Structure 1
């Protein structure tokens, strides 16, 4: 499918390349270990981690001042993976990072979904242990970049041993989010949100999706589910927002209600309250980047500029004639 104007004008890339293209080969840092350099080569070359995990500027170039500090992928959010102990992976051990890259799961910390699950399933799980170890060594030594987190994302929450008992069969007003949780989530994640003992379904506390300062990945997981296969073993959660799923399709308000319930009961209660409109935006693919938002205005703006230039030229010509 052809790109819309002005993105279909390939010559415009010459300007972008002049501003942002880094056309150079990898140069090892003589002051670092061979393992660190190998990790740097993998992270910044073959794995291109910055493509997702580095925020972008108005022209969609990576913001090098916040290298690996997290970036929006539309529906999903690629989190901070710098060495910052609170906002990044500074609190992870090298062994935990290797385990995550191999399996997509570290109990009590995180589970991979969306694009990261795809990266692990189709790429990272197949790397030799030495490569994954080098990646972990490099990431643990990246420059720390702070953010909005007050404590590590995986450190939030506790099990809830009373709510389900107290609310089942209760009369009067009952939290709408609990109704969704009890009917659609508790069967797998358990009524206490502990998850299953065999690790098939994770706990909803001590979980980066529920402990983040923004709810995008929690909402995206409810909308699109989890589907990754590692070493022939499938890890699956059904989607509750996709029409093709065999589960009940939850409305935007339903997903907002259950998200707020989970965040309050098991995750980061300071996360901004989710609204139905927030869910609608993510269901549609996320907030468009700046360039996509202004695209409809570019052609009219060019027309105005051309007309202004013509008017100026005509006015200047008349002045010369009158002089």
Structure 2
């Protein structure tokens, strides 16, 4: 969502919320109920429950948002830029003064699933509680046991948001939650097999895949929270990246991937179609590689059950070898971007754009080259990709940043060449689009690490 669109949304929603404030005070001030109200917290949870909680925390990728590479796990401080201003992840260690050490199980449940802190203030939906609302009571209990009894307490004050008044008022979020946030736990579908059910639970709930891969509405709400809508996981632009469709779209989604391809991608961070980059690199480094094979296969099974939209996605991709003629030495001058491609890109991605197996991804037919949204193409070329760390070993091949080597025009030309060659239908890139992302992004860290949870 662009800053202009967000301002329009604020201009519409804020006056409505202010006018309606007195009549909806009960929504704003009441404390949502929790199934754990009145339930005493266990003083000594079992080792099995704590271990389960640690695994659920991995599924939920809690460490990626509530930590920084320079701080203790879960101590908060990560800056999240929004069009309204920056917000900062909070300290969720069991420190009683600056963390969540004073939370009861019911308080914890309300914060995780309903977006309400123990003092009653509403959390910004950067915390993916619309998805976490599907967590089972068993998993919430396990998470609580892990955070309270296995995560070291860290005294670190949480930073205040930098969102200006009146957009920083929290009470309208109660109305937002009532309209856009689901609060029911995951409901199995009797007609589906157990593997599908498990995959659906992980994707819709703790995995919160829709937070990035589902398009958002005017109020920054996810347009769908489950597969009852064809918009769910159909691709979305967020934070300078385009998170592609996870549905059966053959061009911009997983239509050409097998279940085995999906499993390999989540387990190793790469396959013959793609290598993780952008926000997905963080999700892999800190979450998906730690999942069990059974859960990874369940996720793959579920995702491959989601149909694509041929009308939106267009005719299936076919490789066009004729594009290679423009790369001939005597032809490059006639094709803007061709010379830059040969000098900067071809040694890794191949002169034919087909990459180097699972190590260097293809540009021909890639989702980022087929999608109309060009943010990912620009962002990864400007800033490179974060280091992928699999089984504790950093990768040897990664996309370097070209922001200091290529001008806005040169980058627009080479990306236009890539996105219109070999059958790619993503379309051109304008220098102004490169300039805009250059100004609001920075190079990916070359020191990406797996954050140790304990």
For residue 50 of structure 1, the aligned residue among 203, 210, 214 is 210
1:133 paired with 2:293, answer: no
Post-superposition offset of 1:263: 2.1
Q: Please, which runs of 5 or more residues in structure 2 have no aligned partner?
A: 1-160, 442-454
For residue 99 of structure 1, the aligned residue among 260, 264, 275 is 264
- Match of 1:37, SS state, is helix
1:167 paired with 2:323, answer: no
Higher relative helix content: 1
* In structure 2, distance between residues paired with 1:117 and 1:152: 27
Partner of 2:426: 271
Q: Please, which runs of 5 or more residues in structure 1 have no aligned partner?
A: 242-247, 287-323
Post-superposition offset of 1:192: 3.7
Question: Within 5 Å, which residues of 2 pair with 1:1-323?
Answer: 1-64=161-224, 65=229, 66-85=231-250, 87-107=252-272, 109-142=273-306, 144-146=308-310, 148-152=312-316, 155-158=318-321, 162-167=325-330, 173-196=333-356, 199-227=358-386, 228-231=388-391, 232-234=393-395, 235-241=397-403, 248-268=404-424, 270-285=425-440
- Match of 1:265, SS state, is coil
* In structure 1, distance between residues paired with 2:352 and 2:181: 50
Quick check: 1:204–1:267 contact (8 Å CA) kept in 2?
A: no
Q: Pick which of 42-51 and 116-125 moved more.
A: 116-125
Post-superposition offset of 1:8: 1.2
* In structure 2, distance between residues paired with 1:8 and 1:90: 41
* In structure 2, distance between residues paired with 1:187 and 1:194: 11
RMSD of aligned C-alpha atoms?
2.6
Instruction: Provide closer, same or farther for how the CA distance between residues 83 and 177 of structure 1 changes in structure 2, counting only shifts above 3 A.
Output: closer
Q: Flag as ranges the 4+ runs of structure 1 deviating above 6 A.
A: none
* In structure 2, distance between residues paired with 1:117 and 1:253: 28
* In structure 2, distance between residues paired with 1:220 and 1:261: 16
- Larger of the two Rg values belongs to structure: 1
Quick check: 1:87–1:147 contact (8 Å CA) kept in 2?
A: no
Partner of 1:298: none
Q: Pick which of 52-61 and 188-197 moved more.
A: 188-197
Post-superposition offset of 1:144: 4.0
Quick check: 2:217–2:223 contact (8 Å CA) kept in 1?
A: yes
Post-superposition offset of 1:251: 1.9
Quick check: 2:249–2:255 contact (8 Å CA) kept in 1?
A: yes
1:79-121, Cα deviation, whole Å (9 max, x unpaired): 11123455532332111111111123221x2222101122112
Post-superposition offset of 1:210: 2.1
* In structure 2, distance between residues paired with 1:36 and 1:77: 26
* In structure 2, distance between residues paired with 1:22 and 1:49: 15
* In structure 2, distance between residues paired with 1:75 and 1:87: 17
TM-score (norm 2): 0.55
Post-superposition offset of 1:221: 1.7
Instruction: Provide closer, same or farther for how the CA distance between residues 40 and 196 of structure 1 changes in structure 2, counting only shifts above 3 A.
Output: closer
Higher RCO structure (Cα 8 Å, ≥6 apart): 1
Q: How many pairs are equivalent?
A: 273
Quick check: 2:199–2:300 contact (8 Å CA) kept in 1?
A: yes
- Match of 2:329, SS state, is helix
